[in-house]
Chains A and B, each alone.
Chain A
Amino acid sequence: MSKVLTIDEVVGSLESGMTVGIGGWGSRRKPMALVRALCRSDVTDLTVITYGGPDVGLLCAAGKVRRLVTAFVTMDSIPLEPHFRQARQTGAIELTEYDEGMFMFGLYAAAHRLPFLPTPVGLGSDVMRVNPELKTVRSPYEDGQELVAVPALKMDAALIHMNRADARGNAQYLGADPYMDDLFAKAADRTYVSCERLVDTADFAKEGPPQSMLISRAQVTGVVETPNGAHFTDCEPDHRRDEAFQKLYAKSAADPEAWAAFRDRFLSGDEAAYQDAVRTWQEESR
């Protein structure tokens, strides 16, 4: 019954060459504890599907990404992601670049086990030029409209971060936006949920209304409790984005020497060591 795993068990079940979806949006509710663990692992050669934020940056910096499928990579309050930029500018990663609405249709298609979903979005733009594998279809009805057939974004595994989950893998978001996390969970063969806090199933109702229960255990392979696990991205109402730390990250990522120091200080140990190092840094910065 219980699907509770450790961070290492989740990452240990992933293999090199897999296609991995990551929930959240930009620098918001990213499963950063799982991403950090993935960076420490031997897994490599990944195809990563996500509305990109610093998760993409960390994975690029660790050399884990072969191909990225995305519409953007941003940290919101800091528009551009230095590691992602570096990876693109040195040719270190391959990119499938979609419009963000096309991307959502790719998720919907995969979640509904459809081969594609049609949308006009993309026509006329260079998204069609740089993705020559994209095909168009014509409406069979009177309108005869030409539409882009956005292929299903299938994935071997998805990693998402929720505010609450129970041991069976049901999960709840308590912030203002679900992002596309339920679509990732339905699109993937296996979905792993990290959460701020594991709760008894009976306690979901105390935390939020029924419609906040976004993820069903039927879609979930494993669940892991990672308090402050979305740090430094936003995870309202449990914690806001750590803007000061994000600034430190961005500044460090833009300079090789500073990045080595950042990595040594924050990313050389496990998740507990990371959280300790962050707390120490926060106390020092006060």
Chain B
Amino acid sequence: MSDVTRAEVCAVACAELFRGDGEIVAAAVAGFVPMLGSRLARATFEPDLLTTDGGPTLSAEPVPLGRTAEVAEGWLPFRDHLWLVLNARRHVVMGPSQIDRYGNTNISCIGDWERPARQLLGSRGGPGNTLLNPTSYWVPKHSARVFTDKVDFVSGVGWDRGAHEIRAVVSNLAVLDFDTPDHRMRLRSVHPGVTVDDVVAATGFELAVPGDVPQTRLPDDEELRVMREVLDPKGLREREVPA
């Protein structure tokens, strides 16, 4: 297998977010790529994960993107999702409109909350997810508008505001984590074909950049096969990541 796409690198990076999580619910609500990643993790190295088909069904097996579960192993309506946030056996991947160096995020509105320039979704589950569950983020278009010095509204709390654990951020350019003494965002790896300078230029605050930044790992043959033949034969992942 060759010609690995950027979307496939991103999906494997999203799968890696769940490594070691064990028997918890992977709530990858941010898009096709993290949803694929969570199911790929379950199909390969993290078999105890619980995943949904995007609806209230916990599927008996990882379900291909866009399909409904043929066999259910459980039921998770919205009220139980919200209960599970408090119970905390859950790792969520959200999609921020803005994120700062400590991982504070905004999905609520751009501009002043009192009268926003652009109203977005609203806080949704951001405050609870980040305060109580391991949280990661997926950014399909890495730019200084998203990676910003100050978020306009804190709908998801970061490390400096009491977050349980902001684990990592996967973007179309890189993987970033908070593995620094004061939990500032750090460049962990760059995707193949991306330079450190590319990431720094597309980030609106000062990133911690180690002396030696490795490349994000490539999917292995089995991962490529599972993505291409089983979990996403329609290639929905490719729609989400600009070439």
Which A residues are closer than 8 A to B by beta carbons?
25, 52, 70-74, 79-80, 84-85, 88-89, 91, 97-102, 104, 119-127, 129-130, 176-180
25 cross-chain CB contacts under 8 A: A71-B122, A71-B123, A72-B123, A73-B122, A88-B115, A88-B116, A97-B113, A99-B126, A101-B82, A101-B86, A101-B128, A104-B82, A119-B128, A124-B127, A124-B131, A124-B157, A125-B131, A125-B154, A126-B154, A127-B155, A129-B154, A176-B77, A177-B56, A178-B77, A180-B79
Segment 153-191 of B: residues with Cβ below 8 Å from A: 153-157, 161-163
Is A122 a contact partner of B127 (Cβ separation < 8 A)?
yes
Contact A124 B161 (CB under 8 A): yes
Checking A25, A71, A72, A125 against B156 with a beta-carbon cut-off of 8 angstroms, the contacting residue is A125
**Most chain A beta-carbon neighbours within 10 Å: one of B114, B127, B154, B161:** B127
A-B contact count (CB 8 A): 121
Given the interface pairs A99-B128, A126-B113, A127-B127, the reply to whether A88 lies near B154 with Cβ below 8 Å is no
List the B residue with the shortest CB-CB distance to A82. Answer: B119
A2 to B122, CA, bound (A): 40
Known: A99-B128, A101-B125. A126 touches B153 (CB 8 A): yes
Bin the interface of chain B by size: 35 or more
Given contacts A121-B132, A177-B78, contact A71 B161 (CB under 8 A): no
**Contact pick for A126, options B55, B155, B162, CB 8 Å:** B155
Q: Which of A89, A101, A123, A127 contacts B116 (CB 8 A)?
A: A89
Tell me if B119 and A88 are in contact (CB < 8 A): yes
Rounded to whole angstroms, the CA-CA distance of A99 and B132 in the bound complex is 13
A residues less than 8 Å from B157 (CB atoms): 123-125
Determine whether the beta carbon of A91 is less than 8 Å from that of B78: no
Complex Cα distance A71/B127, Å? 10
